[in-house]
Chain A
């Protein structure tokens, strides 16, 4: 018996009863007014059993009965870690990139679809990471830039037949302009006030998209041309032809390419003078200003750079779906991207990539449990924040830059 065992047991029991009290009205009060019991019990039972096993294991560990095997595992882990840390970072990068490059060859449409979504959210997460993770500005309306990028491509391709690759920089540029327009009046505010105002601006963009019938066709949405790539053709003389990419496997490579570009760009920004200034602003805005950082200009730049990657992701999203409508750019999407950044680890690039997988891919994998998907999702988020408040892979950079210039 460990110290406080009775109290923990009591809490555990109360939690189980509480869970049942939560499930029963959801599952066993039928629409026709009859009451049941077994459906909620059937849902509750596996959770209770799993919880009990975890509880018992935890108690055993607390009692110290796992001391010896745990120590062995720990030394093994450290030895492995020391070995692995000898391999330079770029080897890992190439290895992971190669795996991602090869994936579509072995997987089916469904996997392609999920992976494309994950990659789009990687771009979004990394864009928002600049604003939140590096510069420390809480932005609840980030999805607006995604929307601007998506509509830019859709409208340009629809009215002017401009190809994806030409529209891409335009989408990024317009998103950047939108970032400056939104940033200019709002960045004078700090903290909570800024969060609320960005939330408002995010909604404004969505509502404009919804109501500006003559430009955006309102809630009916806009059709976008499929993505094309210029390929050289040799049949009957040499020429370059725009070939539409229709299979998801091909689109995957475009998303992959955009994600790589984003990762490289954000990584370079992170370790630049600008990145340092952003971090100083995040740590202490007044002190940063006293050290000669033009805080307003740098905050605006963070906003604009974040918007650029949002815009790129948006343009790809429009090309991939072939259709955009305002309902894709709700506050819920902003919250999703925000949770990717927070769950993954603010300021940490690998963390955010992992976060995007966790938040986008896992719910898809667990589609069978449809009904409990969001419940499990919420539970997992709460659990993660309790166990790893700094994120899945916390930003690790202490003492890096000051020394590396040697």
Chain B
């Protein structure tokens, strides 16, 4: 099922001031895959996604997307190239309504009719959002906000979706729902997904492959199934 490599990081380093957060990350994602990045707090998972999107600038190395070098491309150009991120902590627009939040996801798109059709599609995936479409985003529950954040990203018709900790602060049953939908999106829409998670068990079960990050470096990369069986990983990240 996996096609050509669509997203590739080559030896990427990133700094916050003098602190080096990424110390040479290399990873690749093929079209149609679900790949997860797991690791402890402060391992550099979110920084990796922020660096791909150009919010954090890579100090070394290169990011390639769909055959193009996007290391120096501004963050706001990426959604129209089909690369969209659902940031950590959801970051929806709290005082805009649900419908307006979704509309913002299609900000760079001009064709009203197609945007409307995509909004319908998002409402199909997340019926709760349709019920609450004229409510302020900030008044939604955590799970609904996560749905809104994913829906908003879908409105940009992404080819690659970067998901940062979708399970953060949510009840297990909601997390399960969200992961189901993520997999559905991957299968039905053919959206490639790069997932960052602390909940390693859940993430690996939903993924084809996985990378393990430790203090800014990739320490292991394998099929998700083998990672799940790996005794070291089980001990360090799966709580055994």
Q: What residues make up the interface of A, taking CB atoms closer than 8 Å to B?
A: 273, 276-277, 279-280, 283-284, 286-295, 398-403, 405
Contact = CB atoms under 8 A, between A and B. Distances in A.
Given A279-B93, A287-B92, A291-B156, A402 B76 contact: no
Given A287-B91, A289-B76, A399 B97 contact: yes
B80 A292 contact: yes
Contacts of B74: 294
A284 B91 contact: yes
Contact of B156 (A276, A288, A292): A292
Contacts of A405: 112, 116
A290 B100 contact: no
A353 to B, nearest CB: 22
B97 A276 contact: no
B75 interface: yes
Interface in B108-145: 108, 112, 116, 133-136
A290 to B, nearest CB: 5
B105 interface: yes
A291 B134 contact: no
B81 to A, nearest CB: 10
Given A276-B103, A399-B100, 10 more contacts: A284-B94, A288-B93, A290-B53, A292-B78, A292-B79, A292-B156, A293-B104, A398-B95, A399-B99, A401-B99
Nearest to A298: B76
B152 interface: yes
B141 to A, nearest CB: 18
Nearest to B77: A292
Contacts of B78: 292
A283 B93 contact: yes
A288 B87 CA distance: 11
Given A279-B93, A402-B98, A288 B134 contact: no
A400 B135 CA distance: 10
Closest 9 CB pairs of A and B: A402-B99, A399-B134, A292-B79, A283-B93, A287-B91, A292-B108, A399-B97, A294-B76, A402-B100
A309 B156 CA distance: 34
Contact of A398 (B97, B104, B156): B97
B2 to A, nearest CB: 26
A86 B128 CA distance: 31
Contacts of A277: 107
Interface of B is mostly: mixed
Which of B74, B85, B93, B135 gathers the greatest number of chain A CB atoms within 10 Å?
B93
B84 to A, nearest CB: 7
A132 to B, nearest CB: 14
6 contacts: A276-B100, A277-B107, A402-B99, A402-B100, A402-B102, A402-B134
Instruction: Count chain A CB atoms within 10 A of each CB in B74, B103, B104 and give the residue with the most.
Output: B104
Nearest to A289: B75
Contacts of A293: 76, 104, 107
A398 B103 contact: no
A405 B103 CA distance: 11
B96 interface: yes
Nearest to B135: A399
A286 B107 contact: no
A343 B99 CA distance: 29
B238 interface: no
Given A291-B79, A402-B134, A286 B91 contact: yes
B106 to A, nearest CB: 9
B55 interface: yes
B139 to A, nearest CB: 9
Contacts of B87: 286-287, 290
A283 B103 contact: no
A291 B86 CA distance: 9
Contact of A291 (B107, B112, B116, B133): B107
A287 B79 CA distance: 12
B76 A403 contact: no
A263 to B, nearest CB: 23
A280 B75 contact: no
Interface in B51-100: 53, 55, 74-80, 84-85, 87, 91-100
B97 A402 contact: yes
Contact of A295 (B76, B79, B97, B98): B76
Nearest to B84: A290
Contacts of B134: 398-399, 402-403
Contacts of A292: 76-80, 107-108, 156
Interface string B183-198: 0000000000000000
Nearest to B97: A399
A161 B87 CA distance: 57
B89 to A, nearest CB: 10
Q: From A289, A294, A405, name the one whose CB has the most chain B CB atoms within 10 angstroms.
A: A289
A290 B74 CA distance: 10
Contacts of B95: 279, 283, 398
A293 B156 CA distance: 12
Contact of B55 (A279, A286, A398): A286
A276 B152 CA distance: 14
Interface string B15-29: 000000000000000
Contacts of B77: 292
B104 to A, nearest CB: 5
B168 to A, nearest CB: 15
A276 B55 contact: no
A272 to B, nearest CB: 12
Given A291-B105, A291-B152, A402 B133 contact: yes
Contacts of B108: 292
Contacts of A289: 55, 75-76
